[in-house]
């Protein structure tokens, strides 16, 4: 006979009626809760952890599907951001600063007078592109590897400022199970203000998507 059956037997044969039986029942209940509390707590924490991990796995954004921010190394080097507008289109931005005026001047991002007058103390660069994605160009077994292309504009601000435009061509690997991407791009362009100068830039970068 288990403890619960024994408890009911005592309640039926108790000479003082149900009052003592109720007290005994309460005592048994509190004893059972105390003895099983640790096990219940561990089970609850374990189930809660599984549920939390599952919710994060479902909610984790796919690379390239939401806003992403990261870095790009090349010319220029700095922060890179991507804002998709649809499955096949996105805005991408670069914000960078460079103290090497020769490199920036040679690639058309600063005024050509910098080398002559030696009066440029670096340039703050901001550029934006609007790109199209082709997901069928290079099929891969895992993730996605779209080819992207599109026009862009940029400005550089220093002791002498410049404005130009470019056309970017790139490849972007989007991981299947993680909100990251890696991209490689090249962009021929032209400076239009204050004078005309052609250049080619390139960059390698990565971004995290929220």
Whole-structure pTM value: 0.63
| Calpha distance 50→56 (Å, rounded) | 10
77-114 residue pLDDT tens: 899 999 999 989 999 999 997 655 444 443 444 444 45
Segment of 49-53, 174-178, 201-205 carrying the highest mean pLDDT: 201-205
Is the pLDDT at 40 greater than 70? The verdict is no
DSSP 31-100: HHHHHHHHHHHHHHHHHHHHHHHHHHHHHPPPTTTS-EEEEEEESS-EEEEEEESSSSEEEEEEEEEES-
| pLDDT-wise least confident of 184-188, 196-200, 203-207 | 196-200
128-181 residue pLDDT tens: 999 999 999 898 988 999 999 999 999 988 767 889 999 999 999 999 888 999
CB 142 within 8 A of CB 176: yes
| Calpha distance 84→33 (Å, rounded) | 54
CB 161 within 8 A of CB 180: no
Helices 3-13 and 18-59 pack at an angle, to 10 degrees, of: 150
């Amino acid at each position: 006979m288990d403890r619960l059956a024994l408890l009911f037997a005592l309640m039926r044969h108790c000479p003082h009626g149900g009052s003592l039986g109720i007290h005994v029942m309460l005592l048994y209940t509190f004893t059972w809760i105390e003895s099983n509390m640790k096990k219940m707590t561990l089970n609850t924490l374990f189930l809660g952890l599984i549920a939390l991990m599952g919710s994060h796995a479902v909610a984790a954004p796919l690379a390239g599907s939401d806003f992403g921010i990261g870095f790009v190394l090349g010319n220029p080097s700095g922060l890179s951001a991507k804002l998709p507008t649809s499955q096949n289109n996105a805005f991408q931005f670069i914000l960078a600063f460079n103290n090497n005026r020769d490199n920036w001047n040679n690639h058309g991002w600063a005024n050509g007078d910098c080398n002559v007058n030696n009066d440029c103390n670096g340039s703050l660069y901001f550029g934006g592109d609007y790109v199209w994605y082709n997901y069928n160009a290079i099929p891969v077994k895992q993730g996605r590897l779209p080819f992207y292309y599109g026009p862009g504009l940029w400005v550089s601000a220093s002791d002498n400022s410049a404005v130009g435009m470019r056309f970017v061509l790139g490849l972007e690997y989007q991981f299947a199970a993680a909100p990251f991407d890696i991209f490689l791009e090249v962009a021929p362009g032209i400076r239009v203000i204050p004078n005309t100068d052609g250049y080619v830039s390139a960059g390698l970068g990565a971004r995290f998507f929220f």
